[in-house]
């Protein structure tokens, strides 16, 4: 019995998974984390209005969600001042990245990203047979000029760029990004992942221009809106490009309560401003904790901070492992030299106290273990 005949591409794919979630780590460790500050989730939670909207929809969950996400999509279009045809709602940026890659990338097609950028994007590219070309970070930031040069060199179908960046938290100003947009080679799609943009200062997001078919902006309710577990993201782009998603997306894939929650969250500016303020405080607190341990926190326009552990990746990995062993869930960049850092998500004051307590001990553990 040979069993099913998988495609040659699928048969060639690794069985590895981009991320091990905190629950899986907790089960492996046999006890819960005391501080869950590793996945850039918003510990400050969703707007109470979003919670109420999701609760109200729980008993209505027998109905499929609206396949067009009509109300949410219209609200997003109004919010951003773009036509509704320029907006598509999908199952988180992860899901939308998968659709985007599927739309464009066939076996052997070139795709460009930064070495050490979002692994889930790379997972999708590999999953559709694309050929990934990576350029290094430059001074802990993604390097627009190098990304564009590589895209031109390899005739890329997609160039992926996140601003602000994950995992470093760094950013480029809108002028740089606008210049990048203007220089995208024709026939290349710039996927501009702005998952963290609500945390960034004014002047980081360039104006939306949905007349340009060469750029897709990706946004999410997972970060500033505190709804990672709901799976709601969206793209903004040229209506003709956005319309292509209709050919392949899972039309009834959106959770009904998540749609309602996102709509309510979008309308609660006060909550968003409060989350931003708490995130800013927590960033400052992480930098203080780092400094008091003679470590340097990188500047961040996100809800996390990369903390330079001052030595190489092996050392940072030991610090990370020691923190995890001490019940503090954090993550770290995958690639040198950025992997000299650990990546700490903003947390509540209680989370920060746990961090303040455990970081010096983790550093001791890491030094002792050498």
**Least spacing, CB of residue 237 vs a second copy, in Å:** 9
The answer to whether residue 140 forms part of the interface with a second copy (CB under 8 A) is no
If one counts every other C-beta atom within 10 angstroms of the C-beta of residue 329, the result is 24
Among the listed ranges 185-193, 278-286, 334-342, 347-355, the one in contact with a second copy (CB under 8 A) is 185-193
6's CB contacts (< 8 A; 6+ apart) are none
DSSP 267-327: T-HHHHHHHHHHHHHHHHHHHHHHHHTT-EEPP-SSSEEEEE-SS-HHHHHHHHHHHHHTT
**Least spacing, CB of residue 358 vs a second copy, in Å:** 21
The answer to whether residue 15 forms part of the interface with a second copy (CB under 8 A) is yes
With 0-12 / 13-18 / 19 or more C-beta atoms within 10 angstroms meaning exposed / middle / buried, residue 178 is middle
Residue 66 or 308: which CB sits closer to a second copy? 66
Helix (H) or strand (E) holding 216: strand 215-220
Among 77, 91, 167, 309, binds a second copy (CB under 8 A): 91
The answer to whether residue 25 forms part of the interface with a second copy (CB under 8 A) is no
The answer to whether residue 94 forms part of the interface with a second copy (CB under 8 A) is yes
If one counts every other C-beta atom within 10 angstroms of the C-beta of residue 120, the result is 16
Among 203, 229, 360, 369, binds a second copy (CB under 8 A): 229
Residue 161 or 315: which CB sits closer to a second copy? 161
| Burial call 343-360: b when 16+ CB within 10 Å, e when fewer | bbbbbbeebbebbeebbe
The answer to whether residue 51 forms part of the interface with a second copy (CB under 8 A) is yes
**Least spacing, CB of residue 312 vs a second copy, in Å:** 29
Among the listed ranges 15-23, 195-203, 286-294, 361-369, the one in contact with a second copy (CB under 8 A) is 15-23
Map the footprint of a second copy across residues 250-279, applying CB under 8 A. Answer: 250-258, 261
If one counts every other C-beta atom within 10 angstroms of the C-beta of residue 162, the result is 25
Per the listing, tokens 């949410």 go with 72
Q: Are 190 and 181 in contact (CB under 8 A)?
A: yes
Map the footprint of a second copy across residues 147-166, applying CB under 8 A. Answer: 157
- Residues in contact with a second copy, counted by CB under 8 A, come to a total of 92
Q: Are 160 and 121 in contact (CB under 8 A)?
A: yes
The answer to whether residue 203 forms part of the interface with a second copy (CB under 8 A) is no
Among 32, 60, 201, 273, binds a second copy (CB under 8 A): 60
């Amino acid at each position: 019995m040979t069993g099913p005949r998988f495609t040659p591409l699928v048969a060639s794919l690794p069985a590895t998974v981009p991320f091990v979630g905190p629950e899986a780590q907790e089960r492996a460790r046999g006890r819960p984390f005391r501080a869950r500050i590793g996945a850039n989730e918003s510990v400050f939670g969703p707007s109470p209005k979003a919670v109420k909207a999701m609760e109200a929809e729980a008993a209505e969950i027998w109905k499929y969600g609206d396949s067009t996400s009509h109300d949410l999509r219209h609200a997003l279009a109004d919010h951003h001042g773009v036509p509704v045809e320029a907006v598509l709602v999908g199952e988180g940026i992860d899901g939308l990245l998968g659709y985007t890659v599927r739309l464009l990338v066939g076996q052997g097609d070139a795709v460009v990203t930064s070495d050490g950028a979002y692994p889930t994007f790379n997972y999708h590219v590999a999953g559709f047979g694309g050929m990934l070309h990576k350029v290094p970070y430059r001074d802990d930031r993604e390097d627009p000029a190098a990304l564009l040069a590589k895209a031109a060199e390899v005739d890329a179908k997609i160039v992926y760029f996140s601003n602000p960046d994950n995992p470093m938290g760094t950013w480029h100003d809108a002028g740089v990004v606008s210049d990048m947009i203007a220089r995208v080679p024709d026939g290349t799609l710039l996927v501009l992942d702005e998952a963290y943009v609500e945390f960034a200062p004014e002047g980081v997001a360039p104006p939306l221009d949905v007349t340009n078919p060469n750029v897709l902006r990706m946004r999410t309710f997972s970060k500033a809106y505190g709804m990672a577990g709901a799976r709601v993201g969206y793209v903004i782009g040229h209506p003709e490009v956005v319309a292509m998603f209709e050919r392949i997306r899972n039309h009834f894939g959106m959770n009904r309560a998540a749609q309602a929650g996102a709509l309510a969250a979008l309308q609660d500016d006060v909550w968003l401003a409060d989350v931003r303020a708490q995130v800013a405080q927590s960033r400052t607190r992480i930098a203080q904790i780092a400094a008091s341990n003679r470590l340097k926190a990188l500047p961040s326009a996100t809800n996390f901070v990369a903390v330079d552990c001052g030595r190489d990746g092996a050392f940072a990995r030991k610090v990370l492992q020691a923190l995890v062993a001490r019940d503090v869930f954090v993550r770290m960049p995958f690639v040198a030299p950025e992997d000299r850092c650990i990546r700490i998500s903003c947390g509540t004051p209680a989370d920060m106290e746990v961090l303040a307590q455990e970081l010096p001990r983790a550093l001791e553990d890491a030094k002792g273990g050498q």
